[in-house]
Structure 1
Amino acid sequence: IDPNTHRIKSENDRLKKAMLRAQEIKDKKTKMPRLDKKVAQRFVRSGLWDPNVKTNDTVQNQLENWDEDSSTNPKQTEAPK
């Protein structure tokens, strides 16, 4: 019996191809880079940020920070005697 022409050889080759294909699919699913939505949003927001344009959010954040500072330390705003 010639092992090169036997049908077991072709069956083994077919199984090897199927196993390699299954391994590629598994690797594609496990090694695929994941997208972190919050990080992507921060990245895009910082890339589009223009220092000359003040948005409503920036003004609102500054007002909130000012309110927090003045409410926690009321004596700092008084003039020294």
Structure 2
Amino acid sequence: MSKKINLTEAVKGMSYRIAGFINQESDYSEKLSKMGFVAGTPIELAPVKIFDPLVFQIRGSRIALRRKEAKEILVEGV
């Protein structure tokens, strides 16, 4: 099992799986879960040329998150 990092540390071209949230009890983690950000879900940083927001490929969709939001999500490499 690889080391858990927050989603802002993701590297383009690498594959990850969502491992959880820094604050599991927050309303924001519940909102992200409803958007498909659940443990075990594969996720990749999409190849776009913007710094903020970050764009992620998840469940066949592209979703943009501000760095502040992405920092709350933990991932691990696959």
TM-score (norm 1): 0.17
Q: Is the radius of gyration larger for structure 1 or structure 2?
A: 1
The structure with the largest helix share of the pair is 1
Higher relative contact order (CA 8 A, sep 6+): 2
TM-score (norm 2): 0.17
The structure with the largest strand share of the pair is 2
